[in-house]
C-alpha cells in the first residue's frame, strides 16, 4: 500500500470486499436509488390510512363484520407500513448477498488508484476508470466508503479494513473536498 501525493495521485491500495460489506452497500444503494427510496414517507401514508381505519373501526365498537372494508384496508395498510419500513431494506440486503454470490469478480482483490479528479480500479479481469463527476453519491459509513453512480450504475465499495489510518484520513478528506455535493457520512442503518 502506498500513498502518492505527486502527479494528482491521492492514494493507491488493494481492496477486497466481503459479502457482508457488499450487502450493506447494496442496501444503502437501494435506500437512495432503489425500491426502498422514500420508504419513510411511503410508510407514513400507509400508517395514516391504518390510523383512519382504526378510528372508523373504533366508531363501530370494533365490530369487524359490520365494516369489513375498513378491516381489510387496516390489515393491508399495516402490512405495507411494515413492508416499506423493515421488509424492503432487509430484502435489498439479501439481494446484495445474492449479487455478490453470483459474481466472480466482486470477491477478487482490486487495486485502487485514487486521483484528484478520477479513480481507477483494476484486477486480473477488469479495469474501470470513473471520474468524480460520474459519481452521484459518495457515502462514508463506519466500515466503508460507497461510491454510486456512473452510466453503468455500479456500486464501488472501499472497505476501511484495507486502509491504514493515514490512507483512511486522506481518502475521507479527499472525498469531502472533491465530492462536496455527493459526500455524506452515515450512522449505522436501522434495518441492519
Partner 1 sequence: MIDYSIEKCFLVTKEDYVNMTVDKNSYLTPKENKIILRVMGMIAVCCGAAAFVSIRESIYQILCWLILILIGFYALSYYDVIAPVQSEKYAQKYYEYHRKQLESSVTLCVTEELFQTHTAAHQLCLPQKYIYQIIEGKHTILVFIDKNEFCFIPKRVLDDESLRYIADFAGDKYKKL
By CB under 8 A, name the one of 6, 65, 125, 188 that touches partner 1. Answer: 125
Residue 75: HSE in the Cβ half-sphere, 13 Å Cα cutoff: 6
Size of the site for partner 1 (CB under 8 A): 20
- Does the footprint of partner 1 cover residue 189 (CB under 8 A)? no
Instruction: Determine the distance from the C-alpha atom of residue 64 to the mean position of all C-alpha atoms in its chain, rounded to a whole number.
Output: 41
Residue number, 130 or 174, with CB nearest to partner 1: 130
By CB under 8 A, name the one of 65, 69, 151, 180 that touches partner 1. Answer: 151
- Does the footprint of partner 1 cover residue 129 (CB under 8 A)? yes
Q: Would you call 46 helix, strand, or coil by DSSP?
A: helix
- Does the footprint of partner 1 cover residue 128 (CB under 8 A)? yes
- Does the footprint of partner 1 cover residue 79 (CB under 8 A)? no
CB atoms within 10 A of CB 182: 17
Task: Label residues 113-145 b or e (16+ Cβ within 10 Å = b).
Answer: bbbeebbebeeeeeeeebebebbebbbbbebbb
- Position of cell 472497505? 159
- Does the footprint of partner 1 cover residue 91 (CB under 8 A)? no
- Does the footprint of partner 1 cover residue 76 (CB under 8 A)? no
Residue number, 50 or 80, with CB nearest to partner 1: 80
What is the side-by-side strand order in the sheet with 118-122? 9-15, 110-115, 118-122
Stretch that binds partner 1, among 9-17, 82-90, 123-131, 166-174 (CB under 8 A): 123-131
- Does the footprint of partner 1 cover residue 8 (CB under 8 A)? no
- Does the footprint of partner 1 cover residue 166 (CB under 8 A)? no
Nearest to 10 by CA among 181, 178, 160, 190: 178
- Does the footprint of partner 1 cover residue 104 (CB under 8 A)? yes
- Does the footprint of partner 1 cover residue 114 (CB under 8 A)? no
Distance CA 12, CA 162 (A): 11
Query: Which positions touch partner 1 (CB under 8 A)?
Result: 95, 98-100, 102-106, 125-130, 134, 150-152, 154
Amino acid at each position: 500500500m502506498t500513498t502518492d501525493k505527486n502527479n494528482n495521485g491521492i492514494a493507491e491500495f488493494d481492496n477486497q470486499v466481503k459479502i457482508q460489506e457488499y450487502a450493506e452497500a447494496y442496501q444503502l444503494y437501494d435506500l437512495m436509488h432503489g425500491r426502498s427510496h422514500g420508504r419513510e414517507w411511503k410508510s407514513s401514508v400507509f400508517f395514516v390510512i391504518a390510523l383512519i381505519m382504526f378510528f372508523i373501526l373504533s366508531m363501530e365498537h370494533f365490530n369487524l363484520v359490520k365494516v369489513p372494508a375498513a378491516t381489510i384496508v387496516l390489515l393491508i395498510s399495516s402490512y405495507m407500513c411494515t413492508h416499506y419500513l423493515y421488509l424492503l431494506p432487509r430484502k435489498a440486503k439479501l439481494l446484495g448477498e445474492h449479487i455478490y454470490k453470483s459474481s466472480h469478480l466482486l470477491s477478487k482483490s482490486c487495486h485502487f488508484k485514487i486521483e484528484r479528479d478520477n479513480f481507477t480500479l483494476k484486477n486480473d479481469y477488469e479495469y474501470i476508470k470513473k471520474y468524480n463527476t460520474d459519481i452521484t453519491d459518495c457515502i462514508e459509513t463506519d466500515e466503508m466508503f460507497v461510491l454510486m453512480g456512473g452510466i453503468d450504475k455500479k456500486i464501488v465499495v472501499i472497505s476501511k479494513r484495507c486502509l491504514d489510518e493515514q490512507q483512511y484520513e486522506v481518502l475521507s478528506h479527499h472525498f469531502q473536498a472533491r465530492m462536496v455535493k455527493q459526500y455524506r457520512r452515515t450512522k449505522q442503518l436501522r434495518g441492519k
